[in-house]
Structure 1
Amino acid sequence: MWKPCVLTPSDLNTSAGADGLITAVSDKAWFDAALIREKALVFREFGVAADELEPLLRLLLPDRLPYVHGNSPRTKVGDNVYTSTEYPAELTISMHNELSYSGQWPARLLFYCKQAAATGGATPVVDGERWLASLDPEVRDAFSVGVRYTQNLHDGFGFGRSWQDTFETTDRADVEKVLAAQDCEWEWKPDGGLRIWQVRAATTRHPATGTEVWFNQADQWHPSALDGEAAAALRDLLAPEDMPQSVTFADNSPIPEEYITQIRTRGLDEAVDVNWREGDLLVIDNVLVAHGRRPYTGSRKVLVAMSG
């Protein structure tokens, strides 16, 4: 079974600490090849402190990206460095590739553990090729037509995220430039909010290896992703077309809930947990590998950055 490659100072013939890790990964050709080959790399026992992280980010993520058009709640804590998704600790975050619903997604993600949870809080990772193969042929065939995402962003007050937070700007022209580049459709609503539609494939192929992987967020955008009480409350308050986010097949036909359950369950079943220790770094190829989050107790601080 596939699992991330864990690398320690002794494995890399270097010293512990940020300087030792910088020395080890300064060979860009080696690092790039290792990441494609292994799909996910965990750097452990280096004891990297939070104030030592920036040089590693510059080295490993040379073209760091902002979290523009992201749909999960995060806090920006540095130069295109964010907290990991701020969903309640008791919830599982299902497997997904970052921004796979978008026309442009990061090629690489880096996670850094500033503080490990008291219990739980692992980051599960799954080989996208295995996830695809785990799905029933009926599900794979149904999704071959692609998926249609609908997103409603408010103007500063409402459910979900505002368009200003989502696109890190208050300029509508900047938003429209991003959406046009991503081949989205959109409309500005009378209340100042923004509605976005985008049709995407359900799978993609890695640009270097050609490997086909499951690559969409239908299970996270589907109404069944909400717990019963939250879903019922939103349905009482909002028309279907006004939900913060929703998804159908590309032809606008509904996606059966049993398909969504299978996708979510099998992705998590195929996943391997990265159990955090403070100072750990995890780098993943965002096409070859999807990630999520296990429930936890106590305080957990994991930071994330991404690159093209």
Structure 2
Amino acid sequence: MENDISWTPAQISPAQVGAAPTAQGLAEHLRSLPDLGGLLAREKALVFRGFGVDPAELDEVMDLLLPNRLAYVHGNSPRTKVGSNVYTSTEYPAEYSISMHNEMSYAHQWPARLLFFCETAPLTGGATPVIDGTRWLGCLDPEVREAFADGVRYSQNLHGGMGLGKSWQATFETEERDRVEAFLSDSGADWKWLPDGSLRVSQLRPAIVRHPVTGDEVWFNQADQWHPASLGDDTAAALASIMPAEELPQSVSFADGSPIPDEYVIQVRDRGLDNAVDVDWHAGDLLLIDNVLVGHGRRPFTGPRRVLVAMSD
């Protein structure tokens, strides 16, 4: 398949915008922009490089880029909260790639913007690949696109404090069942508490959406990440040997409950990564993305990589 990638994130440096190469210079530039939202919708992703932002200076810049910072409630990936709705990026072994995805596309509400900040650059690798969602949709076989037209059903089994995967307490950032129930009721999810204290959740969500501003139709789901085939043959086989599919920490099916073929999700995963553009990291860099128009992932790395992430509506 021809891999003609024409889109790349817009890079903004102090010299380009006539700003001082400091966090304060970046903040002043951001305040001078008449329409940051419009700029982001046009460019889809923005890289701020050369401003030398320090972690202690991050809040001021973050407040300008993310007008309403959100908590990672109902998030399914392992992270550590390090500040006011600021988290480590997904904590996953350095030797593996993280496939392309739109943050929380499985939820009833997803963040409109994501901001990444490089506190410590890796020794090698560790880029954040990003993909134009229209490109991702267009590079899939028509058969795959049509199969997902009615959406997908995500299922979770969240243990009550001990078990495989995340607990419901960590997922919803609360110990109170009534708060979880209110959240899930508002989200339109199907859910039930099990006798062992765990929580089973099922949600029907779209697989393809249109951006509310640009109207672009984009691939927008995490079926490949929720599907056992994405774990690799050995891991998937090991899980299948100890528990049925309906008891996995997370799983996915077509909207009608029928299984998604392994080859479909492998195509989605591989073509997403193959068609992505890598954003390499230097300490102090920031990457702002439109979470509907752009998917993101992570390349393998060596060394002490530390990238923080925050999100807003």
TM-score normalised by the chain length of structure 2: 0.97
Among 49, 60, 67, the residue aligned to 1:62: 67
> What is residue 95 of structure 1 aligned with on the other side?
100
For 1:131 and 1:35, how far apart are their aligned partners in 2?
A: 19
For 1:305 and 1:33, how far apart are their aligned partners in 2?
A: 20
What displacement does 1:48 show?
0.3
1:36 equivalent in alignment to 2:45: no
Among 232, 237, 240, the residue aligned to 1:232: 237
1:155 equivalent in alignment to 2:160: yes
Render the CA deviation track for 1:12-34: whole Å, top value 9, x for unaligned. Answer: 11101100000011135332221
For 2:44 and 2:306, how far apart are their aligned partners in 1?
A: 24
For 1:28 and 1:204, how far apart are their aligned partners in 2?
A: 29
Q: Return the letter of the residue paired with 2:250.
A: Q
Render the CA deviation track for 1:247-301: whole Å, top value 9, x for unaligned. Answer: 0100111111111111111111110000000000000000000000000011100
Say what the alpha-carbon RMSD is for the aligned residues.
0.9
The 5-angstrom pairing of residues 44-123 of structure 1 reads: 44-123=49-128
For 2:80 and 2:13, how far apart are their aligned partners in 1?
A: 30
> What is residue 142 of structure 2 aligned with on the other side?
137
Render the CA deviation track for 1:168-206: whole Å, top value 9, x for unaligned. Answer: 000111111111222111000110000000011111111
For 2:34 and 2:93, how far apart are their aligned partners in 1?
A: 39
Aligned length: 308
Q: Secondary structure at the match of 1:11?
A: helix
Q: Return the letter of the residue paired with 2:24.
A: D
> What is residue 213 of structure 1 aligned with on the other side?
218
Structure 1 pair 191–28 and aligned structure 2 pair: CA distance change class (3 A): farther
1:184 equivalent in alignment to 2:189: yes
What displacement does 1:60 show?
1.1
For 1:271 and 1:307, how far apart are their aligned partners in 2?
A: 23
For 2:214 and 2:46, how far apart are their aligned partners in 1?
A: 17
The 5-angstrom pairing of residues 193-204 of structure 1 reads: 193-204=198-209
What displacement does 1:219 show?
0.4
1:269 equivalent in alignment to 2:306: no
> What is residue 124 of structure 1 aligned with on the other side?
129
What displacement does 1:230 show?
2.5
Q: Secondary structure at the match of 1:19?
A: helix
> What is residue 309 of structure 2 aligned with on the other side?
304
For 2:232 and 2:100, how far apart are their aligned partners in 1?
A: 17
> What is residue 164 of structure 1 aligned with on the other side?
169
For 2:181 and 2:212, how far apart are their aligned partners in 1?
A: 27
Q: Return the letter of the residue paired with 1:157.
A: M
Q: Secondary structure at the match of 2:35?
A: helix
1:9 equivalent in alignment to 2:4: no
Structure 1 pair 133–45 and aligned structure 2 pair: CA distance change class (3 A): same
Render the CA deviation track for 1:4-56: whole Å, top value 9, x for unaligned. Answer: 00110011111011000000111353322211110000000111001100111
For 1:66 and 1:227, how far apart are their aligned partners in 2?
A: 31
Render the CA deviation track for 1:122-155: whole Å, top value 9, x for unaligned. Answer: 0000000110011111111111121011111000
For 1:27 and 1:255, how far apart are their aligned partners in 2?
A: 48
Q: Secondary structure at the match of 1:292?
A: strand
> What is residue 3 of structure 2 aligned with on the other side?
none
Q: Return the letter of the residue paired with 1:291.
A: H
1:20 equivalent in alignment to 2:25: yes
Q: Secondary structure at the match of 2:34?
A: helix
For 1:9 and 1:30, how far apart are their aligned partners in 2?
A: 19
> What is residue 243 of structure 1 aligned with on the other side?
248
For 1:201 and 1:138, how far apart are their aligned partners in 2?
A: 17
What displacement does 1:246 show?
0.4
1:288 equivalent in alignment to 2:293: yes
Q: Return the letter of the residue paired with 2:55.
A: A
What displacement does 1:245 show?
0.4
